[in-house]
Structure 1
C-alpha cells in the first residue's frame, strides 16, 4: 500500500512538473509573439501618424486607409495573444 501510494505521488509530481513546463513554454511563446508582432505594428503606426501631419489631402486619405489596416491587424494579434482566437 505504501509503495503504491509513493509511486502515485511521484507520478503526480512528475505530471505537475510537466504541466508547469508546458505553461511556462506557452507563456514564453505568447511573450515572443507579442514582441515580434506589436513592435513592428507600433513602428508602422508611429510613422503613419508622423506622416499624416504633413501629408497632402490625397496622401492623407491613403495613410488613413493604411492606418485602419494596421489597426485591424493589431486587433487580430491582440485576440490571438489574449484568447488564442483569430477574429477582428
Structure 2
C-alpha cells in the first residue's frame, strides 16, 4: 500500500508541477524559479510509464530482499530463548 500511495502521489505531483509552482508563487508573492535566472519558462516534467514501472518494480524487489535476512534469523530463534529476558 505504501508503494501504491507513493506512486500515485508522485504521478499527481509530476502531472501538476507547473500548477503547484504557480500556487506557491502566488502564496509567497515571489516568482519561484525566475525565468531570467534559470532560463526556464516552466518546470519541465515528463513521465515515462515504462521507466516508472521499472522504478516501482525495483523498489518492491529491494524491499523484499531487505526483509529476507531478518526473517531468516527470526525463523531460527527459539521463542522461549528469545522471550526469556523480556
Indicate the TM-score class for this superposition, using the shorter chain for normalisation. 0.3 to 0.5
User: Structure 2 length as normaliser, TM-score?
Assistant: 0.36
**Normalising by structure 1, what TM-score?**
0.35
